[in-house]
Amino acid sequence: METSIASPLQIKIKDEFSTTAMSSAPVSAGGAQTPQAPAQNTIPVAPAPLDPAIREFVAQELYKRYKLIRASMDSDNEPAKSKDASLQEDWESLPEHLKASTRAQADDIPRKLELTGYQMSQANDETKDGLQPIEKFTPEQLEYLGEVEHDRWVSERIKSGWQAAGKRDSSAQKTPFFTPYAELEQKWKDVDKFMVEGIFEILGLAGYRVFSKN
């Protein structure tokens, strides 16, 4: 694909818990104002980390979901996996640096929930009895978190030594996507949003539910 390329030096690497600032925060499914993304130069409180017991499972489910959306985008006859090291038959065939990247994406789930006023809890958590679980993000939250995910991905890739290039080459750690979310083609924005949208299903498979913090 053709897309504008920004040098890593032109992209401000955000700290671990910061995201793109928004003019207004999205509204949660319950009608409450979703907390604003942390401003630059602040030190927000980190949410509880992802349970290590489910980390690998969640990462593998995220990878399955990524393959699903990428397969739907593959329009030529060449097998997708021969063009992109991030698309393999199974998790075990994935290069280790891409496994680590997917684990980092899994680790970021609690932060995304925190940014929308939600939290995850085991489905059998008796302290949540009587509370209505959240089943999906609103369209506004999904768009917001799609941008959050893209910014996280750019930061993670730069820190891991990836370089900007005209074409993607996962094996050589090169990508054309070091560009602001607003400048991405819609199909690549949709990939970010599709991955975020799957959080509820994947956590459900891991025995967790999502609840409002209010």
- Residue 197 lies inside a defined structural domain of this protein: yes
- Residue 17 lies inside a defined structural domain of this protein: no
34-56 burial string, b = 16+ CB within 10 Å, else e?
beebbeeeeebeebeebeeebbe
What's the total number of domains in the chain? 1
Task: Note the pTM of the prediction, 2 decimals.
Answer: 0.75
- Residue 42 lies inside a defined structural domain of this protein: no
77-112 burial string, b = 16+ CB within 10 Å, else e?
eeeebeebbbbbeebeebeeebbebbbbbbbbbbbb
- Residue 77 lies inside a defined structural domain of this protein: yes
What SS3 class is residue 209?
A: strand
Range(s) of the domain holding residue 99: 48-212
Give the DSSP H or E segment for 37: none
In DSSP notation, 128-140 reads: GTTPPPB-S--HH
- Residue 132 lies inside a defined structural domain of this protein: yes
Angle, helix 52-73 to helix 96-107, in steps of 10 degrees: 110
The torsion defined by the Cα of 174, 180, 183 and 189, in degrees rounded to 10, comes to: 80
Q: What is the pLDDT of residues 53-112, one digit of tens each?
A: 999 999 999 999 999 998 888 654 455 444 566 777 789 989 899 999 999 999 999 999
Residue 8's Cα: distance from chain center in Å? 20
* Average pLDDT for the chain: 80
Given a contact cutoff of 8 angstroms between Cβ atoms, the answer to whether 71 and 80 are in contact is yes
CATH number at residue 168: 1.10.490
Show pLDDT as tens, one digit a residue, over the chain (214 residues).
333 344 333 444 444 334 343 333 454 454 444 433 333 334 445 677 899 999 999 999 999 999 999 888 865 445 544 456 677 778 998 989 999 999 999 999 999 999 999 999 999 988 888 888 999 999 999 999 999 999 999 999 999 999 999 998 888 999 999 999 999 999 999 999 999 999 999 999 999 999 998 7
- Residue 36 lies inside a defined structural domain of this protein: no
- Residue 8 lies inside a defined structural domain of this protein: no
Give the C-alpha separation, 76 to 1, whole Å.
13
